Amino acid sequence: MLYYLYALLTAPGVIVHELGHAVFCMLGRVKIYRLCLFRWGNPAGFVVHDEPKYFYQSIFISYGPFIVNTLITLFCFSRVTPPFGRAEPWMYLWLGGTIGLHAIPSTGDAKTLLQTTNRRVWKNPLLLVGYPFILLLYILNGLKHLHIDILYVGALFWVSAVYLKG
């Protein structure tokens, strides 16, 4: 029961996460075959797309949710203003929180990037630069057990409060 409540309350974050992948697929002109923004289960959403032609497209598609979710979270948090007797600041706070919680790309995103890098590194050894990006995704996902995603949302709220509310 708790799983379904959490999934329902954080569904906007999952939706924006998957849209982050899709946005960078579209920007890179990588064909999308299937897009599932939200579902009950694991994974909660996914994007099935063509193999990117260039490696940088793979990096951006994998990190797309981090970029898109972070920007939308900062926007939402910048809109949280008193008086708190209205529904609007609470809505922005909830949206910013749930979208920020899903900013960190998943281990599935890291695995996809790892497979792409492994396939291409023999043809172009310069792609070794991709491995630190992959390692970072695995580290961030490991730190989710220590609730780094919640700390990240808190940091984004602080940044928006200090720097975005002139």
DSSP assignment of 17-75: HHHHHHHHHHHTTPPEEEEE---SSSSS-EEEEPPPSSHHHHHHHHHHHHHHHHHHHHH
Q: What is the pLDDT of residue 166?
A: 54
Instruction: List the one residue out of 132, 106, 98, 97 whose CA is nearest residue 117.
Output: 132
Distance, CA of 108 to CA of 121 (rounded, Å): 20
The string of pLDDT tens digits covering residues 97-154 is 999 999 999 999 999 999 999 999 888 888 898 999 999 999 999 999 999 999 999 9
pLDDT tens-digit series, residues 35-93: 999 999 889 999 999 999 999 999 999 999 999 999 999 999 999 988 878 889 999 99
Q: Which of 3-7, 10-14, 96-100 has the lowest mean pLDDT?
A: 3-7
Burial of 123 (0-12, 13-18, 19+ CB in 10 A): exposed
Q: pLDDT at position 84, please?
A: 79
pLDDT of residue 101: 97
- pLDDT score at 123: 87
Query: What is the pTM for the complete model shown?
Result: 0.93
Tokens standing for 58? 């793979």
21-35: average pLDDT: 98
State phi, psi for 35 to the nearest 5 degrees: -130, 115
Q: Which two tokens stand for residue 112?
A: 């996809």
For residues 6-10, give the mean pLDDT.
Answer: 92
Contacts of 83 (CB under 8 A, 6+ apart): 89
Q: Report CA 128 to chain centroid distance, whole Å.
A: 23
Q: Three-state DSSP class for 128?
A: helix
Say what the pLDDT of residue 57 is: 96
